[in-house]
Amino acid sequence: MLTQVVTPNFYRYISTEACKVVKPVREASKTLRHIHFPTRRPYTEGLEIQEKFVRANLDFKLMEAKISRHQKSVAEQGYVLSDYESELLAKIASLKPCPTVLTFEFEPTYTGGKREKQNTTASDVAKYEAKGAQYVQVERGGQVTYHGPGQVVAYPILDLKSFSNLSLKCYVSKLEKAIQAVLLRGKNYASGSSTREFGIQTITTTDTGVWANEEEKIAALGINARRSITSFGAAINVATDLRYLNDADLVMCGLSDKTTTSMEALGVQSSVKDVAFCFAKELGNILGVERVEHLDGDELKVDGEE
Active site residues: 253
234 is in an annotated binding site: yes
192 is in an annotated binding site: no
- Of 156, 163, 134, which Cα lies nearest the Cα of 146? 134
147 is in an annotated binding site: yes
142 is in an annotated binding site: yes
186 is in an annotated binding site: no
Spatial neighbors of 114 by CB under 8 A, at least 6 apart, are 5, 139, 140, 141
Q: Residue 54 is which amino acid? A: V
CB atoms under 10 Å from CB of 95, counted, come to 9
90 is in an annotated binding site: no
112 is in an annotated binding site: no
- Of 263, 236, 231, 230, which Cα lies nearest the Cα of 178? 236
Asked if 231 and 140 touch (Cβ cutoff 8 Å), the reply is yes
What are the E-state strand segments in the chain? 3-5, 31-36, 100-104, 109-112, 134-137, 144-147, 151-157, 210-211, 216-226, 229-237, 259-260, 291-296
141 is in an annotated binding site: yes
Phi, psi of 233 (to 5 degrees): 165, -105
The DSSP secondary-structure symbol of 209 reads S
118 is in an annotated binding site: no
Largest CA distance in the chain: 70
6 is in an annotated binding site: no
239 is in an annotated binding site: no
12 is in an annotated binding site: no
Spatial neighbors of 31 by CB under 8 A, at least 6 apart, are 98, 99, 289, 290, 291, 292, 293
Tell me the binding residues for substrate. 140-147, 220-222, 233-235
Tell me the binding residues. 140-147, 220-222, 233-235
